[in-house]
Chain A
Amino acid sequence: MNLDDLYRDVVMDHYKNPRGREPLERVDIHAEGANPSCGDEVGLDLQVEEGRILKVGVRGRGCAVSTASGSILAEMVEGLTLEEAGRVARRMKGALKGEVRPGEIDMGDLEALTGVRKFPVRIKCALLPWVTLLEALLEKEKET
C-alpha cells in the first residue's frame, strides 16, 4: 500500500491551505457532523440567497483527509443551488464509497481523494463533510 495514493499532492495542498475557513457574515443553514470512531467534528455553515449557496464556512479541524475533503467541498458547492449541491454531495458519497466509478462524473479535486478507497478505515474521514452537508440540506427541506 502506498501512502501517496492517499495523500496526493492535491489532498496535501487542501489540507495545508484549507478553503472556506473564514467565518461567514450570515449563516442561513448550519449543520454539525461527527465521526464517532475518531471523535472528529465538523461544522458547516452556508450562506444562501434565493436557493443558491453564496458562501461556505467549514469549522473544526480533523485529519488531513477530512480537512481536505471539507476544503474541496467548500470550493465545489459555492455558487450551486441547494438542489445541485445535494446532487453533487450524493454523487461524491457514492464515489468515495466506491459505488460510482470516478470516471462517470466530474469530481474536480475530489478525484484525488478517491485513493481513500484503498484505505477502507479512512473512507469515513473523507465522507464526513459531505454527509454533514446532506444533513444540512435535509434539515432545510424539513423546515420548508
Chain B
Amino acid sequence: MAAGAKLDPGKVRGEFPLLAGKRGKGRLVYLDSAATTQKPERVIAAEARFYRESNANVHRGLYDLAGRATEAYEGCRRRVAAFLGADPRGVVITRNATAALNLAALGSARLLGRGDEILVTVMEHHANLVPWIQVAKRTGAALKHIPLDRMGRLDLEALPGLLGPRTRIAALSAASNVLGTIPPLAEIARRAREAGALVVVDAAQAAGRLPLSFEKTGADLLAFSAHKCYGPMGLGFLVGKPEVLERLEPLETGGEMIEAVHMDRASWAEVPRRFEAGTPNVAAAAAFPPALDLLEEIGLDRVRRHEMELTEYALERLSSLEGLEILGPANPEERVGLVSFHDPLVHPHDLATFLDGEGVAVRAGHHCAQPLHRILGIPSSLRASFGIYTVKEDVDALVEGIGKARRYFQG
C-alpha cells in the first residue's frame, strides 16, 4: 500500500469470504469485531494447510513431519514476539486471552500475601477481573479499583490514593471492550511500577487495532488473543518479560512442560514452555502469522486511522438519534473502534433481534462487564464494533435500523 494512502475497506473485504457472501436481504453488516473478527482467506487456508501438509505433534517426534509441526508452532511464537517487539522467550502460547490472564493472576498467587493489594479498574472485562478476585480470595490480598470520570475515562486523580507500598500488581485493559476507552497506559504503568507493582495489561481490544509495542506499554505481562486480530480461534498469548514469567507458578502440569519427572517429583522446563502443558493448538498457531502479515501489510497506523474515522462517523450519526445514550469518551482519539450505547426507547435485546432481521449483527448484553454496567446504571447495552473491513455504509445500516426498530416497538 502506498505510503500515506488510506485503508480501503472495500478492497480488504475481498479477502474475507464470510463478508463476501450474501445473507438475507443483502450483504452481512458485521459489527461485532470486538467479540471476534472475521477471518481472511489466507488464515483459513493456512489452518487447513497445516492439517493437510504438516500435521504431527510438536516437540516430540524425530521425524521430518514432526519437525515441520514444531517449526510452525515455534514460528508463531517468534512472529508474535516480532509483532510486539518482545523477546520470544517471553511469549507463552495459551488457549485464549482469558487463559493468559488466568495464568498471570493465579500464577502470581505466590507473590501475594494477606494485606497486599491488587489494583484493577472498574471498566475491566470479567476476564481481567474474576481471576484477580479469585487470587485475592486465595491469598488474602485486597482488590482496589481505579474509578471512571464523568466522560468514561479512567480517573487518574484517584491514583495517588490507590497506589501504595502494598500494591503488588496493577492489572488493566489497554482498551475497554464496552466504552472503547484507551487509558494512558504507559503513564499508569510507570506510576504503578514506581510503587513497586507488576503491571499486567489486557490487550485483547488493543492488539490488532493500535500500533502496540510491548516495551512502550510498560507492561510486565500482556495478554491478547489471536481471534480478535483476524486470526484463528483457540489461540492466545501471555507476553512477558522472561524474568517476570520465571516468578509465576505453572497452573497446568503434565506433558510438554517438564524438564525431568521422577515417580514422586518433577522439575519444570524453561520459560515459556513450562506454561504450555499438553498438546497445544498447533494448527491455529500455524494460521496466525498470516493474519499478522495482513495487518502489517496494511500498517497498524492505517488500521488505527480507519477505526478512528469510523468511530467519529458512528458517534456523529448515532448522536442524531434523539435520546440515545452513547457510552465512553466523546473524542474518537481516546477510543478504539467500537461504540456502545443504550436506547431508553427499545430494550437492547429487542433492538439486537430487530437489527439481525435487517442483516446487522451487533452485540447486546453486558459484554462480560457487569460491574461497569452497574456503575453506568444500565442493565445492558448494545455495542457496534469495527474492523479493517468495516465500511461507513455499515454504520448507516445500523443507524437506519435503530430508527426502524424505534418505529416498530414504539409505533
Contacts and interface: CB of A to CB of B under 8 A. Distances in A.
Contacts of A1: 356-357
A39 B370 contact: yes
A78 interface: no
Interface string A51-62: 000000000011
Given A38-B366, A39-B370, A65 B350 contact: yes
Contacts of A89: none
Interface string B338-365: 0000000001111001101100000011
Contacts of A125: 349
Nearest to B378: A39
Contact of A39 (B353, B357, B365, B409): B365
B311 interface: no
Contact of B350 (A2, A64, A121): A64
Interface in A15-61: 15, 37-41, 61
Contacts of A6: 353
A24 B267 CA distance: 66
Interface in B375-411: 378-380, 408-409
A58 B364 CA distance: 24
A39 B347 contact: no
A7 B356 CA distance: 14
A63 B357 contact: no
Interface residues of B, number: 18
Contacts of B356: 1
Given A37-B365, A39-B380, A65 B357 contact: no
Contacts of B370: 39
B348 A63 contact: yes
B365 A64 contact: no
Given A7-B408, A38-B348, A63-B348, A122 B366 contact: no
A38 B409 contact: no
Interface string B312-356: 000000000000000000000000000000000001111001101
Nearest to B379: A39
A65 B405 CA distance: 15
A119 B357 CA distance: 11
B78 interface: no
A12 B378 CA distance: 23
B349 A63 contact: yes
B349 A38 contact: yes
Nearest to B351: A63
B373 A64 contact: no
Interface in A103-117: none
A122 B380 CA distance: 15
A40 B379 contact: yes
A17 to B, nearest CB: 13
Nearest to A6: B353
A66 to B, nearest CB: 8
Contact of A3 (B349, B357, B366, B373): B357
Contacts of A61: 347
Interface of B: 347-350, 353-354, 356-357, 364-366, 370, 373, 378-380, 408-409
21 contacts: A2-B357, A3-B353, A6-B353, A7-B408, A15-B409, A37-B365, A38-B365, A38-B379, A39-B365, A39-B379, A40-B349, A41-B379, A62-B347, A63-B347, A63-B348, A63-B350, A64-B350, A65-B350, A119-B353, A122-B349, A125-B349
Q: Closest 3 interchain pairs by CB?
A: A39-B379, A63-B347, A63-B349
Given A37-B365, A40-B379, A61-B347, 7 more contacts: A7-B408, A12-B409, A15-B409, A38-B364, A39-B366, A40-B349, A63-B349
